[in-house]
Amino acid sequence: MDERLERILPRVQKPGRYVGGEYNAVQKDKDKVDIRFAFCFPDTYEIGMSNLGMRILYGVMNEMDGVWCERVFQPWGDMEEEMRKAGIPLYGLESGDPIRDFDIIGFSVGYEMAFAGILNMLDLAGVPVRAEDRPDLSPLVIAGGTAMYNAEPLADFIDIVSLGEGEDVTVELIELYRRAKREGWTKHQLLVAAAQVPGLYVPSLYEVTYHDDGTVADIVPREGAPRKVTKRIVQDMDKSYFPVHTVVPSTEIVQDRTTLELFRGCIRGCRFCQAGYVYRPVRSRSKDLCAEYAKEALCDSGYEEMTLSSLSTSDYRPLVELCDDLEEFCEARHIHLSLPSLRADSFSMDLMQRLQKGRKSGLTFAPEAGTQRLRDAINKNVTEEDLLQSCRTAFAGGFNAVKLYFMLGLPTETDEDILGIAEIAAHVMHVWRESASNKNRGVRITVSTSWFVPKPFTAFQWEPQISLEEYQRRVKLLRQAITTKTVTYNWHDGDTSFLEAVLARGDRRLGKVLELAWRKGAKLDAWEEYFSLERWMEAFRECGLDPHFYANRTRSRDELMPWDMISCGVTDDYLWRERERAYASVTTPDCRTHCGGCGANRLVGGKCNV
């Protein structure tokens, strides 16, 4: 191990996350590979290692001959300081080599609050943050992930953006890069060629002009780049890679368990949910393959817990059969099966009760809104009676804690909807009194609210975020309305949600704000310890841009969105239709009941297999 590293590790928190060497970490002979890939996650090791997408692509790349993909995370502040002081540049966990010497540096970007971390990691690596200051072919800086459906705020820094599911396109990009390296292409040649690969978006090949009022006037592709870049998806989940042999961290991480991906996409169509739209259409993995992967992954990792994960797990058709398949296997090995994102219906409750065994952990539901009218408006098809019935079953079965998640500031929300949240909590309390099998232990009901952030590629992409003052007023209103003892109310502090709303629908002019905010110290913005809205507001002032223009403005139907060169398969017409139905409080049936014609079927050759 590097002696400089040995000196600083005793002084930092949780040094185990900076040394690599975990079980299943891939070691290769660096003299026998021609492509070194630094797979960066712009947050801590604990968060990044919990990301299934990262594990998939790590496996896919390392299965390629001659390619060595290593993991890189953002160090915590104490480690960063020590590294900068000791002159240790950011390194790959597998080899310990500085990533500035790698061929490709790729970022997995799941949320906007990670943007500043990308710049910080490049800088810590000793790589110029701006794309134009990196004239050479290597290191090539690329990015993918859910937050990259609008990569415009990062346009100045990222060479190539990969849209959608990365399994296939990452391989194609690496092959293209390999050819460029072999044939001695310039970086520009590579970028122009990459723009021809479906799913690859090269921001520098687009010229964006603005109207005087700050809205986008035109987006002009150059050098043959397409006007629309459509995301990539895996067509057949049964042929898609699943990381059976995956890195098992030696230190504790957030999701410290085997994650089994049952399907991608979601049939539901909640109107606020970006994931629900951009991952369309739904594609399932067959039950037998799921069971096989699960058993193999559990045997290999030795994990004692497995999550059956997807956007809405209850919608996996053979869910009960799969659980039947796995139950005995898991029981014999003391493995706990957990099912997150269950719907509040009796089918899901029965299943959960069966799997919970002795463990009576808390129940979590996300009704999102306080009245049926508003739930209809956001297309969250759950009724209060479903929810109360689920709670009834759970309390009767011995549960004594329920968490309820809501959003404040949804389009069309009125005070009545907010007071409805307090009423639901009171009704849950009432149900507990009626049905609890053991009242001695009491009950804990937690209501949590977040501040709604409108996202691109949703039915609410044209909507304003409510102002901070209004958000605070609504929090206060709810706080005063919750009078039931035993109901705890937690609300999300507004600062990060506001910035998220700004960045999510930002244009490329925000690049200079981002760079300035980072120079002023922004790095681990998802962490309260490090985030400062004031720092960002200063950066906005100094750049002469108004954050409220991005967060709090209503867009018209014909406004050109900054991300208009990107397509996730779902058409704008469909999203607008959904927005109109929201204002009429009309629900849209799920994809299984009735195809709403969103356009995503074109990604799978015409018809969705829901």
Binding site for ligand SF4 (CB under 6 A): 280-281, 591, 595-598, 600-601, 608, 610
CB of 598 to ligand SF4, least distance (A): 3
Q: Does 223 bind another protein (CB under 8 A)?
A: no
Buried-exposed string 195-204: b where 16+ CB fall within 10 A, e elsewhere: bebebbbbbb
Residue 145 touches which of another protein, ligand SF4, none (CB < 5 to 8 A by kind)? none
Nearer to another protein, 358 or 605 (CB): 358
Number of C-beta neighbours around residue 353 at 10 A:
16
CB of 57 to ligand SF4, least distance (A): 24
CB of 13 to another protein, least distance (A): 11
Q: How far, in Å, CA of 474 to CA of 410, rounded?
A: 11
Residue 300 touches which of ligand SF4, another protein, none (CB < 5 to 8 A by kind)? another protein
Q: Does 354 bind another protein (CB under 8 A)?
A: no
CB of 232 to ligand SF4, least distance (A): 16
**Three-state secondary-structure class, residue 451:** strand
Nearer to ligand SF4, 275 or 595 (CB): 595
Nearest to 432 by CA among 403, 402, 392: 392
Binding region for another protein (CB under 8 A) out of 245-253, 380-388, 459-467, 495-503: 245-253
Lay out the site mask for another protein across 247-286 (x = CB under 8 A, - = otherwise). Answer: -x-xxx----------------------------------
Expressed in percent and rounded to 5, the helix, strand and coil fractions of the chain are: 40, 15, 40
Nearer to ligand SF4, 428 or 598 (CB): 598
Residue 334 touches which of another protein, ligand SF4, none (CB < 5 to 8 A by kind)? another protein
Residue 359 touches which of another protein, ligand SF4, none (CB < 5 to 8 A by kind)? another protein
CB of 331 to another protein, least distance (A): 11
Q: Does 437 bind another protein (CB under 8 A)?
A: no
Q: Does 19 bind another protein (CB under 8 A)?
A: yes
Residue 281 touches which of another protein, ligand SF4, none (CB < 5 to 8 A by kind)? ligand SF4
Number of residues in contact with another protein under rule CB under 8 A: 29
Nearest to 368 by CA among 346, 344, 347: 344
CB of 309 to ligand SF4, least distance (A): 20
Query: What sign has the CA pseudo-torsion 235, 241, 244, 246?
Result: negative
Query: What sign has the CA pseudo-torsion 532, 73, 53, 203?
Result: positive
CB of 2 to ligand SF4, least distance (A): 50
Residue 239, class by beta-carbon neighbours within 10 Å (0-12 exposed, 13-18 middle, 19+ buried)? exposed
Give the largest CA-CA distance in the chain.
75
Q: How far, in Å, CA of 32 to CA of 18, rounded?
A: 25
Q: How far, in Å, CA of 500 to CA of 111, rounded?
A: 8
Residue 341 touches which of another protein, ligand SF4, none (CB < 5 to 8 A by kind)? none
Q: Which residue do the tokens 């005087």 mark?
A: 212
Rounded alpha-carbon distances, angstroms, from residue 453 to 199, 393, 462, 464, 525: 26, 33, 11, 9, 16
Q: Which residue do the tokens 């002019």 mark?
A: 509
* Residues between 84 and 143 with contacts to another protein, criterion CB under 8 A: none
Residue 245 touches which of ligand SF4, another protein, none (CB < 5 to 8 A by kind)? none
Rounded alpha-carbon distances, angstroms, from residue 164 to 139, 143, 207, 234, 275: 23, 11, 23, 9, 11
Nearer to another protein, 1 or 217 (CB): 1
* Residues between 296 and 335 with contacts to another protein, criterion CB under 8 A: 299-304, 333-334
Nearer to another protein, 20 or 117 (CB): 20
Q: Which residues contact 53 (CB under 8 A, 6 or more apart)?
A: 108, 110, 145, 166
Nearer to ligand SF4, 104 or 591 (CB): 591
CB of 577 to ligand SF4, least distance (A): 11
The token pair that represents 432 in the structure block: 């507990």
Kindly tell me which residue out of 32, 182, 359, 485 binds another protein, with binding defined by CB under 8 A.
359
Rounded alpha-carbon distances, angstroms, from residue 184 to 148, 204, 206, 420: 29, 21, 25, 65
Nearer to another protein, 18 or 242 (CB): 18
Residue 217 touches which of another protein, ligand SF4, none (CB < 5 to 8 A by kind)? none
Secondary structure element (H or E) that encloses residue 338, with its range: strand 336-338
Q: Which residue do the tokens 């869910």 mark?
A: 319
Residues paired with residue 406 on neighbouring β-strands, in sequence order:
368, 449
Q: Does 16 bind another protein (CB under 8 A)?
A: yes
CB of 262 to another protein, least distance (A): 23
CB of 248 to another protein, least distance (A): 6
**Three-state secondary-structure class, residue 27:** coil
Residues that bind another protein (CB under 8 A): 1, 6-7, 9-10, 14-16, 18-23, 25, 248, 250-252, 299-304, 333-334, 358-359
